[in-house]
Amino acid sequence: MFTLKNVQLANGEVCDVVIEDEYIKAVGQSMNEGELIDCSGLIALQGFVDLHTHLREPGFEQSETILTGSRAAAKGGFTAVHAMANTMPVADNAAVVEQVYALGKSAGYVQVQPIGAVTLGLNGVQLADLGKMNASKANVTVFSDDGKCVNDSLVMRRALEYVKAFDGVVAQHAQDPALTIGAQMNEGELSLKLGLTGWPAVAETAIIARDVLLAEQVQSKLHVCHVSTKGSVEIIRWAKSKGIKVTAEVTPHHLLLTEKLTSDYNPIFKVNPPLRTDEDVQALREAVADGTIDIVATDHAPHPADSKDCEWGEAAFGMIGLETAAAIVKTTLVDTGLISWSRFEEVLSTNPARIGKLRDQGQQIAEGNFANLTLMDARKVFSVSSNSESKSANNPFLGHELSGEIIHTIYKGVFTVKNSAIQRLGAK
């Protein structure tokens, strides 16, 4: 048992939080039970939940493992992550998702919830074992071919229909493959000047437009991964106004970085979907503020050094982001006055937990709830360094000045991060 003294909650209230075993025992004034931990000046937030993490295991352990990815997540204030399905073998059956689930449990730093593939081997043709993955110990409810788009309209329709049986959701990587053959960066003046094949915005918006109409037709739930363009925001806003069951995410990098960083052909900035324009970044920020975009999700995508130490055209797409996500949201949205701390908690905890149906996560900091908490020093301004718990170093934010440092992360009553240092958990 321990007591977090003088924490500030998202609503501004300053209080003490008593934690016993996995639960919050009490929240109030002048509590002094067990070890007393001074948290004066820290803001206590619901543990963060990432709906979009590439943990790379099984198959790509040279980039990340479930253990190293879990540690990076804890370092970033997360108490749960959703592990994307594009592993090797692909998480398209009960055996793989149960393995990922079990490895996450034994790592113990965060709740690792597997996402199942929509189609077999991400082939876009034949549905994966959606029902069996749902019925497995991993209890999968989010399905995604992320990295690839479910491009065939009929397959997408069938997937949306099929998951209704267990109230699942299809998380779409919206990218028309024919419109993005060989695409390298946002299509526009800069791609013309750099001679890099353009990635037109319409390749994303057209798929989102089709998918929200399909979701409406079959009355199912759609989630749109990593929205990157202003046009996509407008389509989703329209769909929500029509009552279509669509949710959407934006990544921290699409809230902060723009295509201008591509100018030197440094592949650290190569990502799918690509970095876009200032105008897109502004639209995405406003969409988080007005509720059009429901969550921030990292799309943490570790890659080995060699796959970024090469010419742009050969480099892998993706960037890591678990450890910097909260500070980026704080810097780009809270510090700019666009969102409150309550909205911050919604987009990083409550909403992703709801979309991912993680009942133990996204709970309020209140008596009787699971003790999943993150304590942030909101005043701390820091320059992003290469220190990382991730196995990979493809960090595009190096040298960026951000505010909001994660001081403690508590997952089910256990400190996974204490005084900004990752903790050793038992004999794991």
Partner 1 sequence: MKHLLSINDLDVQSALSVMNLALEMQQVNAREVKKLPALNGRTVANLFFEDSTRTRFSFELAAKRLSADVVNFSAKGSSVSKGESLKDTVQTIEAMGVEALIVRHHHSGAAKTIANSDWSKSIVINAGDGTHEHPTQALLDALTIRQRLKGKADSGDLAGLRVLIVGDILHSRVARSNCLLLRLLGASVGLCGPATLIPNDALKLADSVYFNLDEALADNFDVVMMLRMQRERMNSAFIPSETEYATLWGLTESRFNSLSNDTLIMHPGPMNRGLEISSTAADSAQSAILEQVTNGVAVRMAVLYKLLAKESSLS
Q: Which residues bind partner 1 (CB under 8 A)?
A: 181, 184, 187-189, 192-198, 264-266, 306-307, 309-314
Query: What pairs with residue 114 in β-bridges?
Result: 83
Query: What pairs with residue 50 in β-bridges?
Result: 81
- φ, ψ of residue 415 in degrees (nearest 5): -70, 115
Residue 316 CB, shortest distance to partner 1, in Å, is 9
Residue type, 412: K
> For residues 374 and 394, which CB has a smaller minimum distance to partner 1 in the complex?
394
User: Cis ω on the peptide bond leading into residue 396 (within 30° of 0)?
Assistant: no
> For residues 106 and 266, which CB has a smaller minimum distance to partner 1 in the complex?
266
What tokens were used for 300? Answer: 């943490």
User: Cis ω on the peptide bond leading into residue 273 (within 30° of 0)?
Assistant: yes
> For residues 70 and 262, which CB has a smaller minimum distance to partner 1 in the complex?
262
CA distances in angstroms from 295 to 46, 184, 198, 419, listed in the order given:
14, 26, 27, 27
Write out the catalytic residue numbers.
299
> For residues 194 and 213, which CB has a smaller minimum distance to partner 1 in the complex?
194
Residue 188 CB, shortest distance to partner 1, in Å, is 6
Helix H or strand E segment including 410: strand 401-411
Residue 258 CB, shortest distance to partner 1, in Å, is 16
Residue 214 CB, shortest distance to partner 1, in Å, is 26
What tokens were used for 1? Answer: 């048992």
Helix H or strand E segment including 288: helix 278-290
> For residues 165 and 192, which CB has a smaller minimum distance to partner 1 in the complex?
192
CA distances in angstroms from 308 to 262, 266, 268, 304, 315, listed in the order given:
13, 8, 6, 7, 5
Query: What pairs with residue 188 in β-bridges?
Result: none
Residue 208 CB, shortest distance to partner 1, in Å, is 21
3-state secondary structure of 21: coil
